[in-house]
Structure 1
Amino acid sequence: MTELTDPAVRVSGAREIAPDLLVIPNDHVDLVPNIGVVGGTEAVLVVDTGIGTANAAQVLAFAREVAKGRRLYLTTTHFHPEHAFGAQVFAGEATYLANRGQAEDLATKGPGYLEMFRGLGEVIARRLEGVRVPAPDLVYDDGYDLDLGGRTVRLRPTGRGHTQGDQVVEVPDAGVLFTGDLAETGQFAIFPWFPPHDVDVSGVGWLAVLDRLAAAGHRVVVPGHGEVGDGAVLTDVRAYLRELRDETWQRRDSAMGVDEITAEVRSLLVERHPDWAGREWIEPGVACLCTEHDA
């Protein structure tokens, strides 16, 4: 197994994409998410933590510096370790908010993901030393409007897509949307399809979520990984998922076997998108969509 690059968050690269709204970019490093720091007159919200306590401590220190005494909040876009498994560092410093689906994912699947990620290699295992699966301080159901003082941030569960507990974070006055792993740029969509342990990812549901998000007309889209962009980030991911779905279903409906379908679809998609990273996610995407039908 190839050793992964150390997934270190670099707060020195933070840049302001709107007034009092910064992104710490992932710089195309595996298992490093784009992290948001959103300010109002009274409080500051951090979006995602990075993987492990050392990364999260850097993010917290950066957020404290930005906040300059303002109250701190934390939210995470979904339960996967590089997004949420540093939240324990914020305990006592920030109020951690998440939607109910994500809170359930953390409680039921978090321990298994912690062990799985520790098995990805020594560098990841070191990052996860001492990590505990976090539990949010405040859990919401249908949505939560967080007043930061002069700026309201909307936390919205999307329904089943990349996970069952995906959440987007909208900053309406700035036209900014944080998507988590519902969107990436420069790579194939991440399908965490791990039967029998986790089969909650839904290509069909994911497409429906992207249809709704793309129709909202966000000016700036911050993907889970990759470059910050405009609304094309959403439409490009949607176009890829449609492509993956259509090529998979066309072959499935011709009674081909899953292995043959996977080989053909993978070859075709790599040929069409030769510069994209994450080719390992094509196969689980095909396997997932082979089990699904249009709603």
Structure 2
Amino acid sequence: MAEYTAPDPIVDVTGAQEVADDLVVVPNQGVQLVPNIGVIGGSHSVLVVETGMGPRNAEAVLKFAAEYAKGRRLYLTTTHFHPEHSFGAQVFAEEATYLVNGAQAEERAAKGAGYLAMFRGLGAPVARQLEGVELGVPDTVYDRSHDLDLGGRVVRLRGTGRAHSRGDQVVTVPDAGVMFTGDLVETGQFAIFPWLPPHDADVSGIRWIEVMRRLAAERPRVVVPGHGDAGGARLLADVRAYLELLRDETWARRDSAVGEETIVEEVRALMIERHPDWAGREWIEPGIGCFCAEHPDDSGEE
């Protein structure tokens, strides 16, 4: 991963926006390595979605959530284990019940220390936020699905299977039509492919496309992406269209026995031509590498 040169990845809770009754989003306001954070309320409990990167960010999120809850019980969940989404969970230990899907818990245990070291190496702005991180373990781990009753409102937690990561989880609020996707969806940005073989090769472009199909079938009113502005169900279609184009253009050249260097050069240029205003161009090449590895001739997958 390239050195981080953007502003310090600090969560700003002052920008919180209500997107439904008793449901607010703290937007990342375009700051890299800051996720969109959700606070979802019911009559007796409140669920926080994402912690921000490191203890200091998580302290700000917890303070905001506790004031919002006004004495209601607190829960915490995270959409996947990556540092900016979950590496502040320790701060909630005495204040909230932290629950995630089993695949995410396993991935956190297996890869957490490696990702902590990798992100600390990105530069001082990131390392500062990761000071004092303790990975710990969730309080409650479910298999693939869990319905959390907040009192008059049930929130659905669903593990998706491999896609952006091995342990992706989608959080939906059916009565409000709101869906939190984590990094399965970004707005105005190329899809983030953590394709880092041999250290991490669990991202699957093929499965990611299928997950997007399933999520679109739910027809959410509001989609809250991992990073970028919230929007409607169109965000799901946009991500799927990009992933399918990236797959098709990569595989067409792979079928023609074009060398990988040429594949990267040509496909990257095409993706930028199609989406000149999107950020995160550094994620195009890892996406191409992932789809090359998933080509039927190499992976045996159809």
Instruction: Give the AA of the match of 2:167.
Output: G
SS at match of 1:173: coil
Q: Deviation digits for residues 209-262 of structure 1, max 9, x if unmatched? A: 000000111111000001100000100000000110011000011001111100
Moved segments of 4+, more than 6 Å: none
> 5 Å matches for 1:1-295?
1=3, 3-292=5-294, 293=296, 294-295=301-302
CA distance in 2, matches of 1:252, 1:28: 35
CA distance in 1, matches of 2:5, 2:174: 40
CA distance in 1, matches of 2:282, 2:134: 28
Instruction: Give the AA of the match of 1:126.
Output: R
SS at match of 2:252: helix
CA distance in 2, matches of 1:119, 1:125: 7
Q: Is the Cα–Cα contact under 8 Å of residues 84 and 134 in structure 1 kept in the other structure? A: no
SS at match of 2:179: strand
TM-score w.r.t. structure 2 length? 0.97
Shift of 1:36: 0.1
Instruction: Give the AA of the match of 1:273.
Output: H
Runs of 5+ unmatched residues, structure 2: none
CA distance in 1, matches of 2:267, 2:136: 38
SS at match of 1:177: strand
TM-score w.r.t. structure 1 length? 0.99
Instruction: Give the AA of the match of 1:7.
Output: P
SS at match of 2:175: helix
Q: Is the Cα–Cα contact under 8 Å of residues 53 and 131 in structure 1 kept in the other structure? A: yes
CA distance in 2, matches of 1:135, 1:233: 32
SS at match of 1:191: coil
CA distance in 1, matches of 2:252, 2:264: 12
Instruction: Give the AA of the match of 2:198.
Output: P
Q: Deviation digits for residues 10-66 of structure 1, max 9, x if unmatched? A: 000001000000000001110000000000000000000000111000000000001
Instruction: Give the AA of the match of 1:102.
Output: Q
Residue-pair matches, total = 295
CA distance in 1, matches of 2:7, 2:116: 18
Shift of 1:142: 2.2
SS at match of 1:174: coil
SS at match of 2:147: strand
CA distance in 1, matches of 2:103, 2:263: 32
Q: Is the Cα–Cα contact under 8 Å of residues 4 and 121 in structure 1 kept in the other structure? A: no
CA distance in 1, matches of 2:243, 2:90: 34
CA distance in 2, matches of 1:4, 1:109: 25
Shift of 1:78: 0.1
Shift of 1:3: 2.0
CA distance in 1, matches of 2:136, 2:69: 23
Instruction: Give the AA of the match of 1:77.
Output: T
Change (3 A) 1:43 1:162: same
Shift of 1:2: 5.6
